[in-house]
Amino acid sequence: MSLIVQKFGGTSVATSEKIKNVANAIIKEKNNGNDVVVVVSAMGHTTDNLIKLSKEITSSPCAREMDMLLATGEQVSMSLLAMALIDMGYNAVSLTGYQAGIKTQKNHMCARIIDIDTTRINKHILNNEIVIVAGFQGICEGNEITTLGRGGSDTTAVALACALNAQRCDIYSDVEGVYTTDPRIVKTAQKLKTISYDEMLELARVGANVLHPRCVESAKQNKMPMRVRSSFKLDDMGTLIIGVDEMELNKPVTGAAVDNSQIRIVICDIVDEPGNAAKLFNLLSSSDLSVDMIIQSYARHSKNTNDIAFTISKSDYPKFDALKGKITELLKADGIFIDDDIAKVSIVGAGMIDRPGIAAKMFDTLAKENINIKMISTSEIKISCLVEKKYCNSALVALCKAFELDGADVAQVKGDLPDVD
């Protein structure tokens, strides 16, 4: 008998009706002869409402107490789901992070799972019970309740699947799978049957909000097959995420995405001395500021200065703002220029590694649309260009056409894959 881990997001369990629907999805998997371990998020807007409540008390809530507060959200949804399954005639038991043996680091609100003691879960599985585990939470040294931060429930699901040697980890939500690009912008976007971990990671980083990179990384390390699928279309198999060596790469580019959440910062006329870039990025990282694209211009010999441009997340701007004075002083810079009229368009594909000319084709496509490129960054399987915000949708449409992302599926499964029902 094989074990499937299923994870249901907040929209999938938003009402009692939807919880019953989720119970049906679980029963379907159980009736296929599988053991099932389920991970749930909090119902709908529960977490947002709890955060709002805490803000009414204080503008800076204690992190330990915030975890205590937020952990209740999953406890509510999991107990209701267990009631629904029991009512439908199945054995089910819900477990808090603590009861499920999910041990984390001590840092509240963004803890990482360090170990899962599966003793209790395995006991329930042997007892033919459907085990429902609270996502997003764990317990650290001293029996303190912790939460895992953004994407936490997905991370719980993948970590459990790995610890329990599951056959597969299915992430159910309100999207039907991973698309070549954002279907809200490109109507003809195609759902991918398969995508590699690395492509999924790059897509997640460039703006596709399907999965948090943390859980994809964890699945990749453990070679745990994942499936992104809809809890409202149970017959749809969604998208399978697997290792690149298990896929046949027919096309160089698998997906394209737009990210509107960044701003560009240019530090002008930095005196050209060795170590200035290191000083800058050490300072930024010590304030927990993640930098994405970076360009350093050539030193202007006449002035012996250069510029450094980089992008950060808009939500991190207050952190940066607090550092501005220190930066100008430290780098003897002439000024700081902020540009929020930008968008990042990216193409991603494991197939681009062995095929030259992909970058040239991307730049050419944008040029033909009269779109100016402000910055470029690349990885082995990704090329990103910064453009003016007003062009982001037309850029995406043009790139999807050029790289055939609006047609048939891009990558086909090769060889034997894990059972998919």
Q: Give strand pairing partners of 378.
A: 383
Radius of gyration of the chain (CA): 23
If the CB atoms of residues 14 and 267 are measured against a copy of itself, the closer one turns out to be 14
Residues touching a copy of itself, count (CB under 8 A)? 36
CB of 96 to a copy of itself, least distance (A): 8
Stretch that binds a copy of itself, among 58-66, 166-174, 275-283, 398-406 (CB under 8 A): 58-66
Q: Looking at 21, 24, 51, 64, which residue binds a copy of itself (CB under 8 A)?
A: 64
Residue 24 interacting with a copy of itself (CB under 8 A): no
CA distance 233 to 219: 24
Residues 6 or more apart whose CB falls under 8 angstroms from that of 402 comprise 361, 362, 365
Half-sphere exposure of 171 (CA within 13 A, CB side): 28
- Minimum gap (Å) between residue 65 Cβ and a copy of itself: 4
Of the pair 20, 191, the CB lying nearest a copy of itself is at 20
One residue of 36, 82, 208, 397 binding a copy of itself per CB under 8 A: 82
Burial of 20 (0-12, 13-18, 19+ CB in 10 A): middle
Question: Contact region for a copy of itself (CB under 8 A) — 51-59, 233-241, 286-294, 327-335?
Answer: 51-59
- Chain residues 197-216 in contact with a copy of itself, contact rule CB under 8 A: none
Those residues with Cβ within 8 angstroms of residue 390's Cβ, 6 or more apart along the chain or in another chain: 341
CA 333/CA 350 separation, integer angstroms: 40
Distances (CA, A) of 285 to 265, 320, 339: 15, 10, 21
Per-residue x/- track, 113-152, a copy of itself (CB under 8 A): ------------------------------x-x-------
Q: Is 14 in the site for a copy of itself (CB under 8 A)?
A: no
Torsion-angle region of 169 (φ positive above 0: left; ψ -120 to 50: alpha; else: beta): beta
Question: Judged by CB under 8 A, which stretch of 72-80, 197-205, 344-352, 386-394 contacts a copy of itself?
Answer: 72-80
Reading the block at residue 179, the tokens are 């698309």
Q: Which stretch binds a copy of itself (CB under 8 A): 57-65, 303-311, 324-332, 384-392?
A: 57-65
Of the listed pieces 89-97, 210-218, 367-375, 394-402, which binds a copy of itself according to CB under 8 A?
89-97
Residue 75 CB, nearest approach to a copy of itself (Å)? 5
Q: Which of 12, 34, 41, 96: binder of a copy of itself (CB under 8 A)?
A: 96
Listing from the earlier edge strand, what are the strands of the sheet with 291-296? 291-296, 305-313, 262-271, 335-339
Instruction: In angstroms, give the least distance from the CB of 60 to a copy of itself.
Output: 8
State the CB neighbour count (10 A cutoff) for residue 137: 28
Name which position in 94, 156, 254, 262 contacts a copy of itself (CB under 8 A).
Answer: 94
Total length of the chain: 421
Interface residue with a copy of itself among 24, 61, 330, 378 (CB under 8 A) is 61
Q: Please, are residues 67 and 55 in contact by the beta-carbon 8 Å criterion?
A: no
267 Ramachandran zone, left/alpha/beta (phi>0; psi -120 to 50) = beta
Token pair listed for 153: 């429930």
Q: Does 381 bind a copy of itself (CB under 8 A)?
A: no
- Which of 8, 98, 136, 320 is the binder for a copy of itself (CB under 8 A)? 98
Q: Which stretch binds a copy of itself (CB under 8 A): 47-55, 302-310, 317-325, 406-414?
A: 47-55
Q: How far is the CB of 42 from a copy of itself (least distance, A)?
A: 10
Whole-number Å distance between alpha carbons of 271 and 330: 10
Cα gap 140→261, rounded to integer Å: 33
Residues of this chain, 248-267, that bind a copy of itself according to CB under 8 A: none
**Interface residues toward a copy of itself, by CB under 8 A:** 16, 19-20, 50, 53-54, 56-58, 60-62, 64-66, 68-69, 71-72, 75-76, 78-80, 82-84, 86-87, 93-94, 96, 98-99, 143, 145
